[in-house]
Amino acid sequence: MLNTDKLMLSTDKLRFFFSRIKERLWVKPLALCVLSVGGIFVARLADDVGLSGMLPDVTLKSVESLLSIMASSMLVIATFAVGSMVAAYASASAGATPRSIPLVIADDVTQNALSAFIGAFIFSIVSLIAIQNELFESAGRFAIFVLTLLVFAIVIITFVRWVDRIARLGRVVNTIEQVEKAASDALNRRRHAPTLGALKASPNQVEGKGVPVFSPTVGYVQHIDLETLQSSAEALNCRVTVTALPGTFIHTHLPLLHIEGCAEEYIKAREGTEPNALSSAFSISSNRTFEDDPRFGLLALSEIADKALSPGINDPGTAINVIGTLLRLFTLWQSPLEKEKVQTITYDRVSVPELVVDDLFDDAFTAIARDGAGMVEVSIRLQKAFCALAETDDTQIAVAAKKHSRRALAYSEAALTLSDDIDAVRTEAAFSAL
């Protein structure tokens, strides 16, 4: 019988956990602070192993001077770094979309810079306390001197990289690139594992056969632990059909999954064990995430374009840029698979539905077609993108492209007033709207 209180974390759940940790600003600074304090004890070992007669004797004053300079400057730079990061986050939220903030916060260069500045400050303070209390002999002082120079070099290199990064962090173009990268990674993972390594669920299964299992909370599904579902299904000797993919907004009356293959009375009799394990396999929160939710990346890009099309901003160039980005992502979606990355069916008791291409198109293009219909340059570029997608060998993408081309053309015909503009859009839509 499965012990739900001692479920082991699966590899996939660990990946999801570390992705969430990456979005926490305090993790890397804390790690660097621990390393900084550990450096003091490493320096003390130089005295313990008897290296005093073999290493140069560095004066106490020179080491104290270097550490004092570092201590007084690093805190100021760290404060400045935090202020610049907050300004970049506000810029990303106002100029692009608030949904992009987790990606901006998770920027490695910025996190590494803040961590280096805070770690250097802690290192200098702890080293000063140790030296002024005569913790080191000559070998220890030399080790601290070398470590201080090394920390200085790391800080300078990090600062130069960070200045270049902070100049672009939070800008709309940079944010689009970050969202595109996140969406590309999610789409690439999903196209190589369309059912997440489980069996493919048929439409009849998704509609709801069997005993439903509900969520005790309300929010978005962020991640599904298929290993937990598989082990729970084996313990129940049944089959499980997932009905809520990552990105689904779930509530207490919308089932996460359905159980088939065992009597409902048997499941109710064991209530509090396996059914709870089944619902606990779903990570639910108030926000969506990019890693396991390809539709969220497309939606965030659509929001960036939609905001740029608003009368207050009036930036059709950004919308055109996003349309090109979406075209690249859908081209990736239908590109040939890499055989070594294709995930085999490993969860034979779990069925998961595939993503619907028409839903992906709705997330990506509907808002742009509606709110950009009055701008001829946006409408034309959108129709060119649909024509390119309609020419692909992927039947589902071609059908969806033609459908959305017709809808976008209808929006443009209703919004544009000049007949020449309408004719220009119709000309570009002539192929894909067939």
The stretch 169-198 carries a mean pLDDT of 90
* C-alpha span between 76 and 138 (Å, rounded): 31
Q: Say whether pLDDT at 166 is over 80.
A: no
Closest CA to 210 of 235, 233, 241: 241
Q: Would you state the structure tokens that stand for residue 323, as one six-digit string? A: 């349309």
Query: Beta strands 198-200 and 255-260: pairing type?
Result: unpaired
Report pLDDT for 142.
84
* C-alpha span between 227 and 235 (Å, rounded): 12
Please, are residues 373 and 416 in contact by the beta-carbon 8 Å criterion?
yes
Q: Quote the mean pLDDT of the chain.
A: 84
Q: Say whether pLDDT at 179 is over 90.
A: yes
Q: Per residue in 301-342, pLDDT tens?
A: 999 999 999 888 889 999 999 999 999 999 999 999 888 888
DSSP code of residue 163? H
Please, are residues 224 and 291 in contact by the beta-carbon 8 Å criterion?
no
Question: What is the distance of C-alpha 330 from the center of its chain?
Answer: 19
Cross-strand partners of 239: 260
Higher pLDDT, 124 or 184: 184
Closest CA to 81 of 22, 152, 25, 154: 25
Closest CA to 248 of 211, 288, 279, 215: 288
Residues 6+ apart with CB under 8 A from 125: 71
Q: Say whether pLDDT at 433 is over 70.
A: no
Please, are residues 34 and 126 in contact by the beta-carbon 8 Å criterion?
no
Q: What pLDDT band is residue 5 in, cutting at 50, 70 and 90?
A: very low
Higher pLDDT, 42 or 331: 331
Instruction: Compute CA distances 57 → 41, 63, 78, 143, 393, whole Å.
Output: 19, 11, 32, 10, 73
Closest CA to 400 of 432, 353, 426, 368: 432
* C-alpha span between 296 and 186 (Å, rounded): 9
Domain ranges of the chain: 12-170, 294-342+355-429
Q: Per residue in 113-156, pLDDT tens?
A: 888 888 888 888 888 888 888 777 778 888 888 888 888 898 88
Structure-token match 């490993």, residue found: 346
Report pLDDT for 2.
39
